[in-house]
Amino acid sequence: MVATFGQLKAFNALARTGSFTRAARNLAVSQPAITAQIRRLESDHKVVLFERTAGGVQLTALGRRLFRITQNLDDLEEAASILLGGGDDVVPQSLRIATASPQVFMPVAAAFSRRYPDVELDIAAGSTGDAIRRLIDREADIALTPLLRADERLDHIVFLRHRLAALVPADHALVKHEAVSLSEVAAEPLIMRLGLSTTQKMADRALAMHGLRPRPILRLETREAVYEAVANHLGLALVLEHDVPPDPRFQVVPFFDSDVTAEESIVWLRSRRSLGQIRDFIDVAEGMSTGNRIPQRRKS
């Protein structure tokens, strides 16, 4: 038994929304029509693709495997419609963004919104790994994050490069210096990140290159918690200079003996480069990219 195009479209819509009601609305059909298509798809192939829950539906393991294949159908349909001149009618007026660096990329989102005010932005902040996973699983259209390893499914542009720096309370003695050494900072009580933080991995690498093995006084899960800990004089931290929002309670001080640098990138799936809002967002970002230049941080 071959699955029909209608069944797969209904499957995709339900997989994306997690709701029969929203899936029906997205496809401009009735909810019973979606229910019938999904029931027929599952019964014809004697499989269970969704688990019904109180809050809607969730994909089963088999459903997730199928969705990795069938989600390309939506991309193909949209690309064909754009090529044939009907793109404006089929491109949804929304864009899902996953970012590990909201402070870095919010100016891009703002510029995009000014140019395309009718497009709703859905921005999810998390770790670098979360952002890339969301992109690959089609839970996001664009990822704004460091791209740590090559992946043939992905393409990107480097938006900004910035260096590792020290985050210091505003009244700390090191603030008086234009730049400090890693050893000076390592001699102070240090606050570090928990888990798989990209910034923490870079900090660990920089410290190891200088033969420094400081013991943290505190480990915290989020960068926001790190900022608050520094602001409250619990210690110093190693950060990426443009990840830190302006705040009079602390200051970012560069290192004069470390050139560890992160590349913040606009990342997308190669197969979706020409699609609607994705294409438009990339165009806006390319116009704002600093490329190989490392911008100077503004003083808080």
In 10 A of CB 88, how many CB atoms?
Answer: 9
pLDDT tens digits along 167-200: 999 999 999 999 999 999 999 999 999 877 889 9
Helices (H), 116-218: 128-136, 182-186, 198-209
The verdict on 272 and 148 lying in the same domain is yes
Residues of the domain holding 129: 90-159+263-288
- Residue 260 and residue 212 in contact, taking contact as beta carbons nearer than 8 Å: no
User: Does the pLDDT value for residue 47 go beyond 90?
Assistant: yes
Q: At 43, which CATH number?
A: 1.10.10.10
User: Can you tell me the distance from the alpha carbon of 284 to that of 281, in angstroms, rounded to the nearest whole number?
Assistant: 5
Q: Are residues 76 and 107 in the same domain?
A: no
- Report d(CA 242, CA 172) in Å as an integer: 20
Give me the number of domains the chain comprises.
Answer: 3
Cα 223 → chain centroid: 15
Q: Helix 20-27 vs helix 31-45: angle between axes, to the nearest 10 degrees?
A: 110
Tens digits of residue pLDDT in 102-136:
999 999 999 999 999 999 999 999 888 899 999 98
Report H helices in 46-158.
Answer: 61-83, 87-90, 102-115, 128-136
- Residues 202-221: pLDDT tens digits? 999 999 999 999 989 999 99
Q: Which is higher by pLDDT, 284 or 83?
A: 284
Q: Which of 72, 88, 104 is the last residue of a domain?
A: 88
- Domain shared by 244 and 179, yes or no: yes
